[in-house]
Structure formats: C-alpha cells, structure tokens
Amino acid sequence: MSKNLNTKIINLFVLYLFSKKIYLKKIIDKIIGTFRKKTYTSNTDWIFGNNTCGFETFKSYAYTCISVRAENISKAKIYIYKKEDESTEQLYEHPFLILIKKPNSRKQSFTELLYKITCSLDLYGNAYLYIQRDRKNQPAGLYFLPANKIKIILNDSMTNIEAYEYNLNTKRFQYKASDIIHFQIPDPDNNIEGKSIISAFNLTLETDYLQNLYQRNFYKLDSSIGLIIESENNIDDTQIQRLKNMITTLYEGADNAGRTLILESGIKAKSYRNSPKDVEILPSRKAIRDEILSIFRVPKTILGISDDVNRANARESLRSFYDNTIKPFARLCIESKLNVFITENYGSEFFIEMDYSFEIDRELQLKAIEIYSKYNIATKDEIREMEGFGKEKQKK
C-alpha cells in the first residue's frame, strides 16, 4: 500500500514537472518571439557625419528648396473618383473628402499635412500619418508623426512591416501597420524604408554651412585678417595674457574694424590669414547653390534669383518645375500611397488625383509677371498686353 502510494506521488510529481516544462517552454517561446520581431531603425547619423553642424545643414539654400517644394506640393486640389465598368465619375460627396476637410483635432489642415509630408520625405525619405479610427473601424482622423521618432517593427520572417513604434519623450506608442500611411521615396536598395533627397549630397551641405560659419566668425569675431605677434625680446606668460586681453578688448569684432593696432616697443604684428575675398567664397557659394538647386530640381526663378533669367526661360522654367518636379514627385510618393489608403478603407472602385493644372494656368502666369516686372524683363506696356489690357493711354 505504501509502495503504491509512493508510486502515485512520483507520477504526480513527474506530471507536475512536465506541465511546468510546457508552461516554461511557452514563456521562453514568447520571449524569443518578441525578440525575433526585429526593430528596424533608420540610421540618419551618416547624413551629418561626426560634425557638430546637425540640422544647421538644413538652413540656407537647402532649407529654401525643401520649403518651396513643400509649399507647391501642398497646393494640390484633391479630387476623388469612382470607377464603374468603363466609366469614371467624379464624386463631390465622400467620407474621404469629409476627412481631409478636417483631418484632426489639432486644427491642422490637409494642406499643412501635405507640407509636413513633403518636408519629411526630402529630409528622411519617409513620412507617416497615423489613422485614427471610430467605433466602426472607419478612418476618423489623420495625424502626422515625425519620421525621426518612428521605429519599424518587422514580422518574424523579417519580410513585412508588422507595426510602427512612435517614441514621444519617454513614452512609446505602438501602432498596427494598417493604421499607418507610410509615404516614402523609393529606394532600390531597401524595401522597408525610403531614400531621402538629402542623401544625394556628399559634403555640399556641410561646406555650405561651414562657409556661412566662416563668414559669420570673420565679421563677428575678427573683422580683419589674423595676426602673428613677434617680439625681439622674451615675453613671459603674464605679458602674453595682457597682450591677448588688449587685442580682444580693443580690436576684436565688427564694431572695432579699422582701428589702428598699437603695440609695445619690440613687438611686431604680421598678417597670416586669408580674407573671404582671398579664398573666393562668393564663386564657391554660387557653385554650391547651383548644385543644391539642381539636386532638389528647383529653378532659380522660384527662389527669386535673377542670374541668366529672361522672359523666355522664366516662363518655361516655372512650367517645367511643375511638370517635371512637383507633379511626378506628388504622384509617385504621395498620391500612390493615398490611393492604397482609399482602396483598403473605402473600396477598390475609388481613387483620388492630386491636380495642379490650376497652378500651371494662373499661378504661374502671376509668378512670371512678377519676375518680368521685378527684373525689368518686360516693359509695363508689354505686361499689360499679355494680360489683355492693351497699352496704357498717354495723357494729352
């Protein structure tokens, strides 16, 4: 009897351990599975290198190009259509039109969202909109998420995006892939993330920043060529410090430019540093400016630069900017992703178009007229004739 009881106890204990093993295995599998879901993080450090410039590189011409591209893309008129058999019908009432009329509770317009999306694409190659849903799981709001605060979480096989993690200060929010519109500039080497316009630059943006910094320091700190101090006699540390303090107090800075340098007997000063003119910063600045504009595909006329501008090429460059920069970029990187959103949430029979034809018509005409007048490309009477008013009548 005692032996049978011991056998039963042993069997129960083995069964208990076995169940614990299965439970433990489940826990381990769950932990391993969690780590298998790789967090795909974008590394943008290489854009800035190890210098301390950081986002300072996005000032000057680069910032202007990014801003002007975003401003023009955000001017799009959004139309939604429905495909029925072989016909297409434009809709004037649709949930998506209501959504973009008031996209979120932050009082941001859809125009502002388009601006942010374009800036983010140029800077990071990616942009994200969070889709807020109502109780029926229908889109009820669109919220922009900064790309530099997003981490991508892949599935176990590392082939598809499973979720997006948004890091806000010390808080983390995880969203399903179906609740994020992921805009990107296609990258031939990456199926997960896009490739930014900024990445096309080598050292151009850093050089642009350093040239600006050099000019600022030249006028702010020095305002004259640098000096080498020579002395016929030995100078101790106290005399050196007193001399440095005197030069800093009396001769440093733009306000002290042109003052006569008076030194003690036996001490001489020789210039050793080149001025901005000597190192030809202006031609170099123009070359850098033109490279930045060409990579962003922004014509000079858009930025109000009058170099080599005449009546013929001003109009054509403005039209080309819309036809060859704004419209293709909007269709490839923004409109296509919005249509995926439309299909997944409203049905495959619906699609949208971002239209810029109205801009090419009147907006470009007014911009061209402004340039003609500002840079004396056309006379006042010629501008009046272009607008159909005829020449101004001469007073008798």
Average pLDDT, the chain: 78
- Find the mean pLDDT for residues 124-146: 96
Backbone torsions φ then ψ of 103, nearest 5 degrees? -70, -25
CA distance 348 to 370: 44
Amino acid, single-letter form, for residue 282? L
Find the range with the poorest average confidence among 23-37, 132-146, 215-229.
Answer: 23-37
Contact assessment for residue 353 and residue 79, using Cβ atoms and an 8 Å cutoff: yes
For the chain, first and last CA: distance in Å? Answer: 136
pLDDT one-digit tens code per residue, 313-340: 767 777 888 889 999 999 999 999 999 9
Domains and CATH numbers, the chain: 37-201+307-391 (3.40.140.120)
CA distance 205 to 47: 10
Q: Is the pLDDT of residue 5 over 60?
A: no
Give the count of beta carbons closer than 10 Å to the beta carbon of residue 306: 14
pLDDT one-digit tens code per residue, 91-128: 999 999 999 999 999 999 999 999 999 999 999 999 99
